[in-house]
Amino acid sequence: MRGMGSLLVVIWLVIGVVAAAQREYFSGSDANCAELGTIAVTIVAGPLNYAGVNPKVKCDVPQPSR
């Protein structure tokens, strides 16, 4: 039973990677917080991407005080 669950998780994540690749998230060269977060959330969402889910992440990194 544990092997079947692991297989399902791997298949879920592979589908998420395919969805991210189809959206051309891996083609950009400027990696920032928002882009990396969007890629990660898209991969974790897996097959839900094909059900209309389009996860996006916004990052506002605080600037150091002067």
Q: What is the pLDDT of residues 28-39, one digit of tens each?
A: 777 788 888 889
Residues in the chain: 66
Residue 24 lies in a domain: yes
Please state, in angstroms and rounded to a whole number, the distance separating the CA atoms of residues 26 and 15. 15
Predicted model pTM: 0.79
In-domain check, residue 61: no
| pLDDT of the residue at 53 | 85
Residue 35: inside a domain:
yes
Split into its structural domains, the chain has a count of: 1
If you compute the radius of gyration of the chain from its CA atoms, what whole number of angstroms results? 15
> Does the pLDDT value for residue 45 go beyond 90?
yes
- Asked whether residue 29 is assigned to any structural domain, the reply reads yes
Domain containing 16 equals 2-51
Give the three-class secondary structure for 66: coil
Predicted confidence (pLDDT) per residue in 12-30, tens digit: 999 999 999 999 888 877 7
